[in-house]
Amino acid sequence: AAALTDLMASADRQIITRERFRFASVAAQGLPAAAFLLHPDAAEQSRMDRCLLLPVIADNLEEIAAGLLSDWRDGANGFARVAMTPGPDNDYFDSHAEVTLSFLKALHTGLQSIADIELKPVLRDPQLAFLPPAGRELRTMRITLAALAEIYLGTEDGRGISDLVEQRGVDPALDPLMRKAFRMTRETADTIALPLPRAVRDKTEREKVEKLLTQITALRQIVERRLARAVDLQIGFNALDGD
């Protein structure tokens, strides 16, 4: 909110253009900023200011998304190709183990983010929901869970960490457990019928949210304690662990 207020209070309205907006505060560029502006009571800006800023935020998000997709899959330097060809000439990965570790960390950190940033705060205080005005927290969470599941399970045209678990054969019970855990966690997320800030105020729906948090925490612990060992890697610390 502060970043948006400062931006709109600036005398330099030329920054509200697609070309210059990318250099504005990161806090004013993302989905939370757009959701804040869309809410009828949440923003201090005038309706005209909102109408000026929202299309610029949307255009900037579209550009970021297109850039990420291009960086991932396009050309000889696409990051997907980089991840498939580790070695001495690779600027990012020296070995396949380093590639696997990067995806393992992404899986672990993604689950931790859902628990610590999206669920725990809103269970304490419904007003701390990640995208409260738009009511899209659960949709975003479901999409994230689907993406994290693909890191482990793989996609139709690619392999996942599960292939390595099966190949190594160190923990035969792990793969069925991971598949079951992902399935049950996603099913729980799908059963929550109200937007997250309202769900935690409703007795029945709150129990579902608490169940989802328990399942995500358990899944993260399996990744940390069993999956990492099964593929002979150590996850270590991440930015969410603090000092």
What is the spatial distance between Cα 108 and Cα 238, in angstroms, rounded to a whole number?
9
Q: Of 98, 100, 92, which Cα lies nearest the Cα of 167? A: 100
- CB-count burial class (<10 Å; 0-12, 13-18, 19+) for 46: exposed
SS (H, E, C) 77-95: CCHHHHHHCCCCCCCCCCC
Indicate whether 78 belongs to any domain.
no
For 156-214, the DSSP string reads TTS--HHHHHHHH-S-TTHHHHHHHHHHHHHHHHHH--S-HHHHTTSHHHHHHHHHHHH
Average pLDDT rounded to a whole number, residues 73-88: 86
In eight-state DSSP terms, residue 227 is I
Question: Each residue of 7-19: pLDDT tens digit?
Answer: 666 655 666 677 7
Looking at per-residue confidence, does 112 or 21 come out higher?
112
Q: How confident is the model at residue 243 (pLDDT cuts 50, 70, 90)?
A: very low
Helix (H, G, I), strand (E, B) or coil at 134: coil
Helix (H, G, I), strand (E, B) or coil at 42: coil
| Average pLDDT taken over every residue of the chain | 86
Judgement on whether residues 51 and 128 belong to the same structural domain of the protein: no
d(CA 197, CA 212): 15
* Across 79-85, average pLDDT: 89
Same domain, 24 and 109: no
Mean pLDDT of 168-187: 97
Picking from 174, 169, 184, the residue whose alpha carbon sits closest to that of residue 227 is 174
Are 132 and 228 found together in one domain?
yes
Instruction: Note down the domain range covering 25.
Output: 2-73
pLDDT digits (tens, 9 = 90+) for 87-139: 999 989 999 999 999 999 999 999 999 999 999 999 999 877 765 555 688 99
Angle at 109 between CA 221 and CA 192, to 5 degrees: 75
Tell whether 49 and 137 lie within a shared domain: no
* Domain count for the chain: 2
Identify whether residues 17 and 132 lie together within a single domain: no
Residue 56's pLDDT is 86
pLDDT digits (tens, 9 = 90+) for 29-64: 877 788 777 765 555 556 657 777 888 888 888 988
200: exposed, middle or buried (C-beta count within 10 Å: 0-12, 13-18, 19+)? buried
Name the residue type at position 158.
G
E-state strands within 9-121: none
Residue at 88 is within a domain: no
Confidence of residue 145 (pLDDT cuts 50, 70, 90): very high
pLDDT in tens, 199-208: 999 999 999 9
Does residue 16 sit within a domain? Answer: yes
Token pair of 10 as six digits? 């600036």
